[in-house]
Structure 1
Amino acid sequence: AYFLRPGDPTAPILYDVDRIRDGKSFSTRRVVAIQHGQAIFNLQASFHAPEEGLSHQVPMPDVPEAESLPDFKTRMAPHKHLLGEWYDRPRPIDIRYVDGDPMSRSRTPTVQQKVWLRADGTLPDDPTLHACIVTYASDMTLLDTTVLPHGLNWTDSGLQMASLDHAMWFHRPFRADEWLLYDQMTPTTSGARGLATGSIYTHDGQLAITVVQEGLIRRERS
């Protein structure tokens, strides 16, 4: 997926879907999201009918349980003055930082972070709905990883960050209303672009999704 222009949350979105191919095992679609007569988003999607095959995965990291960690508002309360009205917004996705306070922790350079996440509420038994919700949630916190090696965080003045492209591979079943561990790492940031990768595990350790995101990372010149 490529984010081409800023979206307007007050205007309808027209989705232009191109049925590229429908095969016995795979189907392919190309989607363009249009607002105000301009393309704002481009997506290429491949769907695969379930089938048996070889299976292996990288083990899930050993981390504290999500319920033992503070929720977002509790964790970020010391920084409420920096977040303004954003702090009080409703949060349909419950996010629990594993590695401590993300604001203070940013001052200790690192290339990785981990968060637990889940939808705040019980969802119907619709796998497509669960995939859509986790797709939405997968954009949260991932790009932040790209500035952690530089001792920065997303609230720093003069720092501009925006998603440029986003890719996901769905490996195994999961539920968005159960805890998922999002293990994130940034291999590089250069040329005003940062790259981050993420592995999303179910609570019982199954690798469900792999994510890769590239984002714009700009700092104002002094």
Structure 2
Amino acid sequence: MNHCDRVVDDGLPPLESLLDLLDLERIEQDIFRGVSRSAVVPRVFGGQVAAQALVAAGRTVPEERGAHSLHAYFLRPGDPGAPIVYQVDRIRDGRSFTTRRVVAVQHGQPIFHLSASFQIHEDGLEHQEPMPYAPDPETLPTAEELLPAHADKFPDPTVVDRLLEARAAVDLRYVESPPFLTAGVAREPRSQVWFRTRGKLAEDPLLHVCLATYVSDMTLLDSVLLAHGRGGWAVGDVVGASLDHAMWFHRPFRADEWLLYDQQSPSASGGRGLGTARIYTRDGQLAVSVIQEGLVRVPRR
């Protein structure tokens, strides 16, 4: 079976496998091809598509121009068993800014659309929202400690293994219990997690931005669920999917060092929920702002 016609199962260590996933194959100028890894739900993980699309865009931009924003729409569920073709459109190359548009295609149809902007570094005005309090990440349980201890909360016994597999390359630690462990109890619509890759990364700034993009889709809508005491797909009380996603990269950061993902939900209505977030470095620098709207439906019984 051709490598690009299957889900990735390469036997590599988890982080190396994820980096291999983001190392797209160039099949023509401005056209790239990627594969998928196993998903916890029967569609391609949205963070994977967004990260791969940003990789494709970044490979058509001079290295001295760093990504400063992206705006994306998820159009159709991705098929994890088929390759994804990324077509890059060179919208503009200005003196300071570069703009790219990327369309991800499967089975002849667009499944994802991304616009990304890149900028030469400039000095300018500086201010930021202060970092909120969060306990040190080392004091929090790892996924391997947290999830098996609560396996009885999941109606499907395979969920724990699927969650652990999906996060094997990333050390992601919840400050408070995630929604799938507290279903039935409504809380403030706010969630915090610390995350970093499980291993050191190369110096390439685009790689760190793409890995943060990958992780940003994992937990952003948790705050929507918390407000209503819903556990999400893992416990079967909500059906959801990402609809659109935007990120602004404010300051340099490393995805292999601890980052605090502070998330909240200002609104949910019309079968949709909105999540907003800030990503801070451990020393308090505001690195990234994130906004996402997702489909959030209560299944009919």
TM-score category, normalised to shorter length: over 0.9
Q: Which residue of 1 aligns with 2:48?
A: none
Q: Which runs of 4+ in 1 moved over 4 A?
A: none
Query: Contact (CA 8 Å) 2:179, 2:225: kept in 1 or not?
Result: no
Percentage of matched positions with identical amino acids: 55
| Distance in 1 separating the partners of 2:238 and 2:119 | 40
How many angstroms does 1:78 deviate by?
2.7
Aligned length: 222
1:20 is the counterpart of 2:97: no
1:157 is the counterpart of 2:228: no
1:112-123 to 2 correspondences below 5 Å: 112-123=190-201
* Partner deviation per Cα, 1:186-218 (whole Å, 9 max, x = no partner): 000100000000100001000000000000001
Q: Which residue of 2 aligns with 1:207?
A: 286
Query: Contact (CA 8 Å) 2:147, 2:160: kept in 1 or not?
Result: no
Q: Which residue of 1 aligns with 2:222?
A: 144
Query: Contact (CA 8 Å) 1:95, 1:117: kept in 2 or not?
Result: yes
Query: Contact (CA 8 Å) 2:193, 2:261: kept in 1 or not?
Result: yes
Query: Contact (CA 8 Å) 1:112, 1:184: kept in 2 or not?
Result: yes
User: Alpha carbons of 1:87 and 1:17: their partners in 2 closer, same or farther (altered >3 Å)?
Assistant: closer
Unaligned 5+ segments in structure 1 are none
1:72-91 to 2 correspondences below 5 Å: 72-81=143-152, 82=154, 83-89=159-165, 91=168
RMSD: 1.5
* Partner deviation per Cα, 1:109-162 (whole Å, 9 max, x = no partner): 211010000111111111111111110001111112111110111223241011
- Residue 170 (structure 2) aligned to one of 89, 93, 105: 93
AA at the equivalent of 1:187: P
1:187 is the counterpart of 2:281: no
Query: Contact (CA 8 Å) 2:230, 2:237: kept in 1 or not?
Result: no
Q: Which residue of 2 aligns with 1:45?
A: 116
| Distance in 1 separating the partners of 2:85 and 2:147 | 37
| Distance in 1 separating the partners of 2:251 and 2:300 | 45
> Scaled by the length of structure 2, what TM-score is found?
0.71
AA at the equivalent of 1:138: S
Unaligned 5+ segments in structure 2 are 1-71
Moved more, 96-105 or 172-181: 96-105
